Amino acid sequence: MSLVRVEDLSVGFGAVRAVDSVSFTLAPGAALGLVGESGSGKSTVAAALLGLHRDTGARVTGSVRVGGVDVAAAGDDELRRLRGGVAAMVFQDPLSALDPYFAVGDQIAEVYRAHSGASRRAARARAVDVLGRVGIPDAARRARSRPHEFSGGMRQRALIAMALACEPDLLIADEPTTALDVTVQAQILDLLHALREETGMGLLLVTHDVGVAAESVDDVLVMRDGRVVERGGVAQVLGAPRDAYTRELLSAVPRVDGVRGGPSGSGDVEGAVGDVVVEAEGLRRVFGRGRRAFAAVDGVSLTVRAGETLGVVGESGSGKTTLGRMLVGLLEPTSGKLRHGGAEKSGKGVVPGVQMVFQDPVSSLNPRRSVGESIADPLRARGDRDEDAIRARVRDLMARVGLDPAHYGRYPHEFSGGQRQRVGIARALAANPRLIVCDEPVSALDVTTQAQVTALLAELQRELGLALVFVAHDLAVVRQVSDRVAVMRNGRIVEQGTVDEVYGSPQDPYTRQLLAAVPALDPAVAAERRAARAAGAHAVREDGGAAGKELAAA
């Protein structure tokens, strides 16, 4: 008997047909990946398995059965039992899925009580148990913490713990590792694999990242425009794709072992660059005071030349973004020197000729201003007063980054994620900068949109001779776009060199650890890496246990 059986599922929203005649089955204990770009319909399919489209105005046709329950025909009580009891969902953004006002343990306990009728005491004990099961250290204490006190990876673990509380037969994971750094992503994927082996639950993984699918599932459905264009075993689909769209997806995936396609184009760093645009010497930034003081950036020195891209990589909390903000002037260094064009920075505020492209274009664009006006802001800020000239410049910039100039008056919500990022790039270009700092500019975009945005940056750099600092946690993207790489950990640069040196022959153990955590497109290689990580983690636990016994004996 199938755990999930979907037959001829279609979902429409107004005039939009988001899902069009999708059918598939999932056996108990099996793992299936739904892969495709943003807007392909994969999350809409996942939501249909839990009846989340009910009472939303969506038109749902076809048949969906989960654990023997006909989702369309189920009454409200049966649907509530299905959600959490038979099938549970882990959402993409744990910060918005968790209530900020309540302790994480209380939220998990509430879910468990709703489905089991357990006492408050038993529910709290269950919450601590599942938090420990997903690898939250000191689970009894951390269960009393609120979501903002957890890191991104720990919040995702907490959501998985909540999903596991009632021991469901099916776990639906909707982009569970998007925007997580590579080591945390590897930990979450390893956790999902271990839980499947331990509990025998089925897994439906929704992702735009083909590498994540290779790490995690047995079979793959590739979706485009609401339809399934290819299906089969993960090794078969990724190793020998039949459909042109699947081949296009795979070709857009950046690889750490591929040929570098950096912005300078030639691969010859010395021949591709010019004068020094920005130079940092011993930069340090301390937050807090007294005992609470900590150095987010601690003694960083680097240079970036015209026409060159410096990639800055590291895990969350390594100091990458703080460094980028200091290079722009949004943060003042606690100590150290910062020179732009050979002149030491004087005074506070953003440095002239330097711009920034932020990670989240939704947050960085004013929703009440048209995109044209947002792009025009830097021009007015530098003193331009000729409105006709400003509008002409904005329309030229929109065309240059691949946006229709006729959409000057549209608002950010009317654009896709990739288009909004293009707006951010156009705004950064408006004041003719010498240096652009890009802070995780493609982390939340699907692979084909990532490729389009990085290609756009490469084209603009060749045309304008820009210096770029590309801050990212995705080592594969950084290899694709960079001439040189700086690897950061705990506020310091632990390794720096040309992209071929750092990726081809990493010297620091931390760099090697980061590279080993990058998802592999070959499922066999992915399995080998997962086993190696598990063995390494086991060795660390054994050493820790032995050390604890020695201390206890002493």
Rounded distance between C-alpha atoms, residue 439 and residue 449, angstroms: 16
Query: How is residue 402 written in tokens?
Result: 């691949």
> ∠ CA 507-513-518 to the nearest 5 degrees?
120
Give the residue carrying structure tokens 């010019």.
Answer: 274
How many CA within 13 A on the CB side of residue 472? 27
Q: Residue 548: its pLDDT value, please?
A: 41
Query: How is residue 493 written in tokens?
Result: 């640069």
Q: Residue 342: its pLDDT value, please?
A: 83
Measure Cα distances from 99 to 80, 81, 109, 140 in Å: 20, 22, 13, 19
Residue range 209-263, pLDDT digits in tens: 888 888 889 999 999 999 999 999 999 999 999 999 999 988 888 888 765 554 4
Q: What is the pTM of this model?
A: 0.81
Helices and strands (H and E) in the chain: how many: 22, 20
Answer whether 182's CB lies under 8 Å from 168's CB: no
The answer for residues whose C-beta is within 8 angstroms of residue 214's C-beta and 6 or more apart is: 234, 238, 519, 520, 521, 522, 523, 526
Q: Residue 535: its pLDDT value, please?
A: 76
Q: Residue 23: its pLDDT value, please?
A: 97
Residue range 109-136, pLDDT digits in tens: 999 998 888 999 999 999 999 999 888 8
Low-confidence ranges of the chain (pLDDT < 70): 179, 258-273, 346-347, 349, 536-554
Q: Residue 554: its pLDDT value, please?
A: 38
Rounded distance between C-alpha atoms, residue 181 and residue 317, angstroms: 10
Q: Residue 274: its pLDDT value, please?
A: 76
Residue type, 385: R
H-run or E-run covering 125: helix 120-133
How high does pLDDT run on average in the chain? 87
Rounded distance between C-alpha atoms, residue 62 and residue 64, angstroms: 7
Q: Residue 552: its pLDDT value, please?
A: 38
Rounded distance between C-alpha atoms, residue 124 and residue 64, angstroms: 34
Q: Residue 272: its pLDDT value, please?
A: 52
H-run or E-run covering 222: strand 219-224
What does 472-534 look like in DSSP terms, one character per residue?
Answer: ES-HHHHHHH-SEEEEEETTEEEEEEEHHHHHHS--SHHHHHHHHTSPPSSHHHHHHHHHHHH
Q: Residue 29: its pLDDT value, please?
A: 93
Longest dimension (CA), the chain: 81
Q: Residue 258: its pLDDT value, please?
A: 63
Rounded distance between C-alpha atoms, residue 487 and residue 275, angstroms: 23
Closest to 408 (Cα-Cα) out of 397, 418, 278: 397
Q: Kindly give the residue spans of alpha helices, DSSP state H, lying in 240-351.
A: 244-252, 269-272, 320-328
CA dihedral (388, 393, 399, 405) in degrees, to 10, reads -20
Centroid of chain to Cα 337: 32
CA dihedral (62, 67, 69, 71) in degrees, to 10, reads -50
Answer whether 156's CB lies under 8 Å from 188's CB: yes
Give the residue carrying structure tokens 């939704």.
Answer: 362
The answer for residues whose C-beta is within 8 angstroms of residue 106's C-beta and 6 or more apart is: 124, 127, 143
Closest to 459 (Cα-Cα) out of 501, 499, 399: 399
